[in-house]
Amino acid sequence: MKLTTVDEIKGLQSNLIATFETPQGKSVMEYIEQIGSWYPRMSDSGETNEIIARDANRRLIGTIKTMMKLTPEQIQALTQEA
């Protein structure tokens, strides 16, 4: 999915909101944030592979949050910049 049309973006955005804006979905997102190192911890390792993995997790979580927050037109503009 390339998210090049507003309709594609609206469909995905609708599914993300339906999934993560429910009480159960919010609980799942909290868990994803916890295991995905959304919030840095003092105990985070400085090992290269772990740093890369944490960055990838944070990007994924950030993308989900961005998709639920921005308008489809804003998301389309971002996908065209990339």
**Does position 64 have pLDDT exceeding 90, yes or no?**
yes
Mean pLDDT for the chain overall: 91
Going by pLDDT thresholds of 50, 70 and 90, the confidence category of residue 60 is very high
The DSSP call for residue 39 is S
Res. 82 pLDDT band, cuts 50 70 90: low
CB-based contacts of 26, cutoff 8 Å, min separation 6? 20
The domain limits of the chain are 6-81
Contact between 5 and 72 under an 8 Å Cβ cutoff? The reply is no
Which residue shows structure tokens 């919030």? 39
Rounded to an integer, the average pLDDT of 9-34 is 95
Residue 19 is given by DSSP the state H
Burial environment of residue 77 by CB neighbours within 10 A (0 to 12, 13 to 18, 19 or more): exposed
**35-45 per-position pLDDT tens digit:** 888 888 888 88
